[in-house]
């Protein structure tokens, strides 16, 4: 499929490697260095040659990978970084499933990945890749020779030639002699050769022929059911494991209502060409979007035609009036409704439809609200997997799919301009909205840490009147930060009062929940205090500021001085970041109140200096000691930092071993082992603990090299494995949560 798989540890290096320069323009066959490498554990590493982009799209200032990577598999943009002759980035771990993507420069210049042989017929710039896993096993290719076949059927409607795709099951038995057969459709797009699930094997068809499922695409192309819906793989695997009755499935993008001449002529053509049963009890119809509307309307208005109907994100709201409930309940064995979460446009329509069906006394089943997908192929794949095994036989389970929830009434974000943004629902759905300042903008996105592990995605916004809006989710309980990107320019959300001093374009918000409890504010009056400490820097030759957290009940006159923890920021940041972005106050408050924290003073200084060792030991430490009741005993002092601050911390450890008994570095490598006094470090350090993100953290390679160096030197350290996430605050907040309770307890 043009996508190479490598172990995650190797994939980490893609962030630091430049791709081989390709002489543009290149045909696909010549572009043999993959732009995409997918690791076995679901990390997607992209490396797009800058020469190719320039030759085919012109000079660009940014390159993104557009794909279904966002919350609920929504479409989103993953920004790549330019390094040498490549635009590159690593995203993941992605959930098992099918992903589609394209390369886009400067918002409008789209490119097909020439190194990926997969394609999407309805969207020529897109490619696909498959992330294997147990939850997606029915989406994997069936073993060679064990699946069904997909053919193209040509038929006429009002003297106009049309086509449909027809899947016949394994072992399909054609009816008697016939004219020239249908053309065989090529594969929908290769996936990994992963065996289908084990089972009792395909069921044998009845002697009179096969039942038929008409699968409507609505306003989408029928080929999307193969390229994006993985319909062939789903039908193959369900058949092989014996979960579905042998049937013929007809995939159509027929226009008009389900009962019009188009469907009538299609059914006739299928009956003429295939060994199918024609009685209503062996006819089923389903579809996505408008196709789902057509399917359900067919069941409600002509109940004697189809005994089974499925609506996948259908928008039917007007089909109940005038319906004959008795006829429907008598003739229709199954009418099953499916919807995604509140990001699915069909969600509110489904709320209204279920109420109308209930009032009319029409029997139906509801699969429940899919909490993890909206109106997209990832949801409709699941719908097809649930629907097909229910056809043409009796089933005992009529309830919703596992993990699906009830409808909770219609979802309506507040009216435009009525409240600050973002608007946060109780279920973790977030609505972003701009002011009216960007009415002339062409492309507006929200760039936020909403990707797996806290990586950043750009979420497209839609113009609504004189504003731009989008609703995404559900987001897991956690702390989020974002900025607007308006025609490739970073802009602060002026409606959000939060601020980040070192990054003026960022805004923040918290999704509450047990997972984010330590990042939330404690009740008023119960937490510690954060104060500003002004000191003179003889390194920067100016007065500077640090922030100092003191625990609840801090006593400046306590006989025993408090332990002190010096906590440093990273490059491009300052002393304010651990409070504004790292949520240090909230973390420390909660851990103290939970009884997990030794009472201590935490000093967050400004590390943006040419000589950090001197700044720390001659300026920050003495100033803190002069203003706070803290110990000067090395066994009661700790030093840690993130990224640049982690490197500075390790520098202090090497230069002054034993000066701080507790040392920790977040996302920083150990560096060279030259001149390191290993004996002094080991004897003078009670705890040396190191942390790093996963392969999306760009320091991962140097960090792992540092572990080797320390092992070779014999330095004692602790490392409990990666913290899932990138080089960002999601990782560093978790690092502080892990570290702080370990301090001053040995």
* Residue 2: pLDDT band with limits 50, 70, 90: very low
Over 90: is that where the pLDDT of 35 sits?
Answer: yes
**Bond preceding residue 474 cis, omega within 30 of 0:** yes
How high is the pLDDT of residue 262?
A: 80
Out of 26-30, 668-672, 740-744, pick the least confident. Answer: 26-30
Over 60: is that where the pLDDT of 26 sits?
Answer: no
Name 303's Cβ contacts closer than 8 Å, sequence gap at least 6: 324, 327, 328, 330, 331, 332
Over 60: is that where the pLDDT of 287 sits?
Answer: yes
- Positive or negative: CA dihedral 610, 613, 615, 618: negative
What mean pLDDT do residues 31-36 have? 84
Over 80: is that where the pLDDT of 109 sits?
Answer: yes
How high is the pLDDT of residue 746?
A: 82
Over 60: is that where the pLDDT of 455 sits?
Answer: yes
> CA-CA distance, 63 to 543, in Å (whole number)?
42
How high is the pLDDT of residue 204?
A: 62
- Positive or negative: CA dihedral 416, 419, 422, 423: negative
Over 90: is that where the pLDDT of 6 sits?
Answer: no
How high is the pLDDT of residue 253?
A: 82
Q: How many helices (H) and strands (E) does the chain have?
A: 17, 35
How high is the pLDDT of residue 32?
A: 72
Top-confidence residue, 410 or 175: 410
Over 80: is that where the pLDDT of 421 sits?
Answer: yes
How high is the pLDDT of residue 198?
A: 43
Over 80: is that where the pLDDT of 257 sits?
Answer: no
| pTM given for the model | 0.90
Q: List pLDDT tens digits, range 459-511.
A: 999 999 999 999 999 999 999 999 999 999 999 999 999 999 999 999 999 99
> CA-CA distance, 262 to 250, in Å (whole number)?
13
Average pLDDT value over all residues in the chain? 91
Q: List pLDDT tens digits, range 661-717.
A: 999 999 999 999 999 999 999 999 999 999 999 999 999 999 999 999 999 999 999
Q: Which residue has the tokens 């066959």?
A: 29
How high is the pLDDT of residue 16?
A: 31
Instruction: Count other Cβ atoms within 10 Å, centred on residue 587.
Output: 23
Q: List pLDDT tens digits, range 628-653.
A: 999 999 999 999 999 999 999 999 99
How high is the pLDDT of residue 24?
A: 36
Q: Helix, strand, or coil here: 250? A: strand
Over 70: is that where the pLDDT of 260 sits?
Answer: no
Asked if 38 and 91 count as a contact pair (C-beta separation under 8 A), the reply is no
* Residue 319: pLDDT band with limits 50, 70, 90: low
How high is the pLDDT of residue 156?
A: 86
Out of 215-224, 556-565, 577-586, pick the least confident. Answer: 215-224
How high is the pLDDT of residue 360?
A: 93
Over 60: is that where the pLDDT of 18 sits?
Answer: no
Residue 592, judged by CB atoms within 10 A of its CB (0-12, 13-18, 19+), counts as buried
Q: List pLDDT tens digits, range 140-171.
A: 999 999 999 999 999 988 788 899 999 999 99
The rounded percent of the chain whose pLDDT value lies above 70 is 90
Over 60: is that where the pLDDT of 518 sits?
Answer: yes
- List, in sequence order, every residue forming a beta bridge with 106; answer none if it has no partner: none
Q: List pLDDT tens digits, range 36-78.
A: 999 999 999 999 999 999 999 999 999 999 999 999 999 999 9
> CA-CA distance, 277 to 260, in Å (whole number)?
20
The rounded percent of the chain whose pLDDT value lies above 90 is 85
Top-confidence residue, 5 or 100: 100
How high is the pLDDT of residue 207?
A: 54
**What tokens were used for 132?**
């294997």
Over 80: is that where the pLDDT of 7 sits?
Answer: no
Over 80: is that where the pLDDT of 15 sits?
Answer: no
∠ CA 131-134-137, rounded to 5°: 75
Over 50: is that where the pLDDT of 416 sits?
Answer: yes
Out of 15-29, 396-410, 538-552, 620-634, pick the least confident. Answer: 15-29
Over 90: is that where the pLDDT of 187 sits?
Answer: no
What mean pLDDT do residues 238-242 have? 97
Residue 741, judged by CB atoms within 10 A of its CB (0-12, 13-18, 19+), counts as middle
Asked if 90 and 19 count as a contact pair (C-beta separation under 8 A), the reply is no
How high is the pLDDT of residue 321?
A: 79
**What tokens were used for 245?**
């009755």
> CA-CA distance, 58 to 56, in Å (whole number)?
6
Indicate the angle between helix axes 231-240 and 377-387, nearest 10 degrees.
30
Out of 9-13, 44-48, 125-129, 618-622, pick the least confident. Answer: 9-13
Over 60: is that where the pLDDT of 208 sits?
Answer: yes
Over 60: is that where the pLDDT of 17 sits?
Answer: no
């Amino acid at each position: 499929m043009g996508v190479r798989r490598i172990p995650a540890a190797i994939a980490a290096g893609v962030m630091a490697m430049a791709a081989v320069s390709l002489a543009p323009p290149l045909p696909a066959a010549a572009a043999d260095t993959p732009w995409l490498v997918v690791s076995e554990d679901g990390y997607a590493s992209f490396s797009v040659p800058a020469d190719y982009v320039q030759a085919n799209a012109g000079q660009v200032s940014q390159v993104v990978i557009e794909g279904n990577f966002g919350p609920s598999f929504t479409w989103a943009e993953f920004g790549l970084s330019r390094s040498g002759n490549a635009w590159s980035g690593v995203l993941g771990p992605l959930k098992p499933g099918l992903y589609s993507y394209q390369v886009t420069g400067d918002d409008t210049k789209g490119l097909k990945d020439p190194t990926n042989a997969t394609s999407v017929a309805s969207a020529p710039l897109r490619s696909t890749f498959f992330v294997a896993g147990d939850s997606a096993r029915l989406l994997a290719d069936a073993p060679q020779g064990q699946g069904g076949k997909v053919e193209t059927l040509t038929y006429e409607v009002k003297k106009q030639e049309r086509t449909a795709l027809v899947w016949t099951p394994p072992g399909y038995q054609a009816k008697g002699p016939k004219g020239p057969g249908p053309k065989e459709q090529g594969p929908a797009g290769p996936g990994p050769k992963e065996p289908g699930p084990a089972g009792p094997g395909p069921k044998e068809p009845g002697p009179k022929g096969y039942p038929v499922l008409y699968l409507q695409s609505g306003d989408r192309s029928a080929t999307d059911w193969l390229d994006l819906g993985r319909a062939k793989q789903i039908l193959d695997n369900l058949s092989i494991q014996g979960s579905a009755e042998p049937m013929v499935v007809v995939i159509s993008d027929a226009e008009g209502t389900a009962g019009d001449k188009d469907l009538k002529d299609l059914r006739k053509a299928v009956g003429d060409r295939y060994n199918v049963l024609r009685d209503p009890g062996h006819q089923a119809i389903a579809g996505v979007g408008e196709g789902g509307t057509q399917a359900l309307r067919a069941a409600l208005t002509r109940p004697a035609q189809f005994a089974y109907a499925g609506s996948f994100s259908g928008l039917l709201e007007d089909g109940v009036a005038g319906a004959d409930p008795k006829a429907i309940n008598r003739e229709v064995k199954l009418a099953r409704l499916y919807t995604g979460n509140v990001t699915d446009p069909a969600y509110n329509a489904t709320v209204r439809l279920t109420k109308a069906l209930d009032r009319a006394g029409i029997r139906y089943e509801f699969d429940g609200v899919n909490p993890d997908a909206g109106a997209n192929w990832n949801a409709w794949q699941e719908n097809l997997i649930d629907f097909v095994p229910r056809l043409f036989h009796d089933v005992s389970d009529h309830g919703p799919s596992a993990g699906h929830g009830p409808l909770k009434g219609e979802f309506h974000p507040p009216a435009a301009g009525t409240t600050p943004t973002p608007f946060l629902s109780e279920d973790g759905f977030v609505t972003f909205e701009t002011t009216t300042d960007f009415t002339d903008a062409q492309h507006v996105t929200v760039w936020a840490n909403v990707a797996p592990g806290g990586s950043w995605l750009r979420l497209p916004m839609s113009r609504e009147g004189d504003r731009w809006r989008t609703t995404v989710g559900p987001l897991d309980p956690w702390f989020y930060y974002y900025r607007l990107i308006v025609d490739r320019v970073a802009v602060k959300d002026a409606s959000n009062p939060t601020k980040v001093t070192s990054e003026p374009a960022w805004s923040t918000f918290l999704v509450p929940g047990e997972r984010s409890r330590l990042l939330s504010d404690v009740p008023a009056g119960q937490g510690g205090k954060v104060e500003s400490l002004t000191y003179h820097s003889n390194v920067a030759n100016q007065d500077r500021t640090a922030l100092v957290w003191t625990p609840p009940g801090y006593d400046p006159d306590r006989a025993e001085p408090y332990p002190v923890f010096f906590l440093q920021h990273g490059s491009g940041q300052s002393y304010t970041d651990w409070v504004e972005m790292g949520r240090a106050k909230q973390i420390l408050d909660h851990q103290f109140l939970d009884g997990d924290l030794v009472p201590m003073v935490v000093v967050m200084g400004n590390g943006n200096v040419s000589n950090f060792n001197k700044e720390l030991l001659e300026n920050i430490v003495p100033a803190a000691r002069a203003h706070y009741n803290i110990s000067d005993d090395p066994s009661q002092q700790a030093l840690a930092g993130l990224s640049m601050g982690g490197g500075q911390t390790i520098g202090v450890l090497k230069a002054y071993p034993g000066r701080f008994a507790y040392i920790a570095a977040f996302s920083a490598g150990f560096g060279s082992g030259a001149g390191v006094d290993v004996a002094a470090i080991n004897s003078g350090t009670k705890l040396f603990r190191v942390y790093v993100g996963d392969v999306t953290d760009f320091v991962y390679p140097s960090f792992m090299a540092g572990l080797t160096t320390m092992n070779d030197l014999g330095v004692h350290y602790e490392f409990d494995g990666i913290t899932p996430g990138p080089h960002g605050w999601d990782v560093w907040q978790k690092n502080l949560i892990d570290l702080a309770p370990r301090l001053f307890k040995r």
